[in-house]
Structure 1
Amino acid sequence: MTKDQLLSRRRALITGAAVLGAAGTAGVLAARAGDAPVPPAAPAAGPQAQPALRPSAYRLQPLTGEGPPPPEPAPTLVRHEPFLRMPGRGRTMLLTFDDGPDPRYTPHILDTLAEYEVHASFFVCGEMASYNKDLLARMADEGHVVGNHTWSHPLLTRLRRGRIRSEMERTSDVIEDACGERPEWFRAPYGAWNRTVFQLGADLGMEPLAWTVDTEDWTRPGVRTIAGRVEKGAAPGVVVLSHDAGGNRAQSVRALRDYLPRLIDAGYHLTVPRRQYA
């Protein structure tokens, strides 16, 4: 190759490099001016190709389960004595039934309450409740309160802490299984309370409820006597204690049919307890 040919080839290479350099510089300047350079052609999409997400799209993807945590339930205060009556306006009373449910008597009591559109509270024993969950479900479905009355109805003040907790916790488990939620109210058998009972009840989210009027229906004194005790003790905020199990409760069933319409005619509103947070 002659000297002139070498010089011509060298000039061509220099000119090509300059053109390429100018094109690159123009692309940079265009990008700075806001005109994005044309991207290279995308490869042909195959059968499994997926459109790529833009970076902002990734940031907008919510994480599964992410969100504000549910609010913590209000803690139950540790009481030093049980509620003996319920505060409220007007002539309000509470009817409560202990020791059940019993398939021989509880359904009749529920039927009477439904007939007069009245709600009551049933403090059930887990041992009985575990065999009659359908009755617990009916209580809850019809607007009654289902409370905890321990598993086997022992005298709690003579038991160790672990046994007391077991008696209460097992019963709450049965109630939750039948009704869909744990009980908010607890009643100690025989009305025997102490500091441990109050503390464990609060730990399990339950308030203690005792009674104002004891019908002593468990002694089977007669239908008229039971009804008379309820009517004589009637007053705003009163809590009446009766039983729907633990023995023959036919008198309790019939007495309810006697005194309930008379209480309603006297202007009393029969209802269920409400949680107290102070």
Structure 2
Amino acid sequence: MRSDHLRPDRRTLLKVALGLGAAATVHLIAADPASTPSRPARAAGTPPAAAAGPPAAAAGPPAGLPGRPPAYRLQPMTGATPPRFRPAAPPVRTRPFEKLPDLGRSVVLTFDDGPDARYTPDILATLRKHRVRAMFFVCGEMADTHRDLLREMADDGHVVGNHSWSHPLIPGLSRAAIRDELGRTSEVVDATLGTAPLWYRAPYGAWNRNSFEIGADLGMEPMAWTVDTLDWTTPGTDTIVRRVLDGAAPGVVVLSHDAGGNRSQSVAALRRYLPRLIDEGYRVTVPQRV
């Protein structure tokens, strides 16, 4: 059950864990039907999330709907791998997590750029149907608009991560600007859920030394990915499904999107590949810092 506040003793443990390194601080929660909570009923007066009806597979986003993404179109730099940096003083990392090995047949599903009222509810509904958890790396300006969806993510046991405020190219920013991008997003998540994010992902997968240092200072670990679905290019539902299933292997982290453009194909693909992963014996899991 989600705690409403991060206790002082847990803050201390998190800082100690950061100094001990990734291998000792990262664990996974397997998707277990007996222990995965179903979404609890909302309290009176809490606005419900958007209805989870299936979107048209090829339809573009309707104009003028609430939750319309900002003017920029979120397009990750595909194939980008973080460069190596001079070692920094602990507990700052020099590279993000790209996979979580030695964990059996487990897969971590991640969704970037949301939440979006047109696509996120359908993704949440599919995950709930199969009683699994995922990671959502949210942009602050989207999260601030859709706090009800943040609460729904947390209620269902998903991990809410930090994906900056406005999805900028981080290496082009000053340290103050990076802190503002990450810090404002963490503040929105903390104010909404009662706990700040413990994970962050650089927009476009473009990291630098400043982002590692500032992320660590804010209590977050960096998470990249192993399998890129390239769903932002809208390559077709079949192609997205094939990329996930072909890339599935123990400990992989799959990158998809629930906002930043027309994500109808991403929604439809998840409905198809998630049951296939489960049938093939994969546990769909989320990392947890302790």
Which TM-score tier does this pair reach, normalised by the shorter chain? 0.7 to 0.9
Output aligned runs, 1:53-64, within 5 Å.
none
1:192 aligns with 206
Identity among equivalent positions (%) equals: 64
Q: Distance in 2 between matches of 1:115 and 1:264?
A: 12
Q: State whether structure 2 residue 171 is matched by structure 1 residue 231.
A: no
CA contact (8 A) 2:141 2:166 kept: yes
Equivalent residue, structure 2, for 1:128: 142
Structure 1 match to 2:196: 182
Q: Distance in 2 between matches of 1:263 and 1:116?
A: 11
Separation in 1 of the partners of 2:109 and 2:234?
18
List runs of 5+ in structure 2 lacking aligned partners. 1-7, 19-90
Alpha-carbon distance in 1 for matches of 2:251, 2:143: 28
Q: In structure 2, which of residues 139, 163, 186 is the aligned counterpart of residue 149 of structure 1?
A: 163
Asked if structure 1 preserves the Cα contact closer than 8 Å seen for 2:14 and 2:289, the reply is no
1:275 shift after superposition: 2.7
Alignment match, 2:268: 254
Which amino acid in structure 2 is aligned with residue 211 of structure 1? W
Higher relative contact order (CA 8 A, sep 6+): 2
Structure-1 residue corresponding to 2:185: 171
Superposed CA deviations along residues 249-271 of structure 1, whole A, max 9, x for unmatched, are 00000000010000000000001
1:209-237 CA deviation, whole Å, 9 max, x = no partner?
00000000000000000000000000000
SS of the residue aligned with 1:130?
A: helix
Q: Distance in 2 between matches of 1:70 and 1:130?
A: 28
Q: Does 1:90 align with 2:104?
A: yes
* Residue in structure 2 matching 1:219, options 229, 233, 242: 233
2:13 to 66, 73, 89: 73
What letter matches 2:260 in structure 1? G
1:204 maps to which of 205, 218, 238? 218
Q: Which has the higher helix share?
A: 1
- Report what 1:102 is aligned to: 116
Matched residue count: 208
* Residue identity in the other structure for 2:253: V
Kept in 1: contact 2:198–2:220 (CA 8 A): yes
Q: In the aligned structure 1, how far is the partner of 2:176 from the partner of 2:157?
A: 33
CA drift of 1:90 comes to: 1.5
Which residue number in structure 2 is paired with residue 50 of structure 1?
Answer: none
Select which of 155, 163, 172 maps to 1:158.
172
AA at the equivalent of 1:74? L
TM-score (norm. length: structure 2): 0.70
Secondary structure of the residue that 2:259 maps to in structure 1? coil
Structure number with bigger Rg:
1
Could you tell me which residue of structure 2 aligns to residue 114 of structure 1?
128
- How high is the TM-score relative to the length of structure 1? 0.73
Tell me which residue corresponds to 1:19: none
Which runs of 5 or more residues in structure 1 are unaligned? Answer: 1-68
RMSD: 1.2
